[in-house]
Amino acid sequence: WARHPLVNNIVRYSYTLRVGPGEYDKVRLHRVVKEIKPYRPIRTRKAVFALHGVPGNFNQWFLVGAVGPSGPPNHGMAIYLAENDVDVWGIDQAYYLVPPETTDFSFMANWGIQFDVDNLRTGMAVARKTRQFTGNGCGQMTLIGLGHNGGGVTGYAALNHETQLPRHSRHIGAFIPIAGIFKTDNRDWRDY
């Protein structure tokens, strides 16, 4: 894990989690939060979990100014929310962590939407438990899913998955899909 100061008293913590036995079966969790002092996040009941779209990762979609070469460093949804006392969690899905020089993708044979849903739910479970142990409660989280061929679809699939679970096993309290297409007459998008 690592701690990355962003702006003022806003920091990003990042954690890599193993989610399976394979070499690339891992995801990266992020937490963007206001701190009272170094390594001491504020306590807040407000929490969201952010799921990136494709292409890109958590940093590129939710911390634009803090990680980009131009623009104000406080530009980004996660920073704005953290400045307003929201505990922002997010994930980099496993496919994003595969090294670019990889040429053999046979390890992805069993990857798909359910793999991403399972990883998302694992990340949300870790976030909720961490929040519980740090005095923030363990309530369900609002999921923000960016469309762009990934986050929106995975978010809807996760909601569908959770309908089959008892209420106490559900991690998603609300869903905010952004920039996704649910229904369209555009054949190119429908057949994607």
In this prediction the pTM is 0.88
Q: What would the pLDDT profile of 42-94 be if each residue is shown by its tens digit?
A: 999 999 999 987 777 888 878 876 666 666 667 788 999 999 999 999 999 99
- Residue 140 in tokens: 């369900």
Distance of alpha carbon 141 from alpha carbon 103, whole angstroms: 37
pLDDT digits (tens, 9 = 90+) for 143-153: 998 766 677 88
What is the reported pLDDT for 57? Answer: 84
Q: Cα(141)–Cα(128) distance, rounded to whole angstroms?
A: 8
The rounded distance, in Å, linking the Cα atoms of 121 and 180 is: 20
pLDDT confidence of residue 192: 46
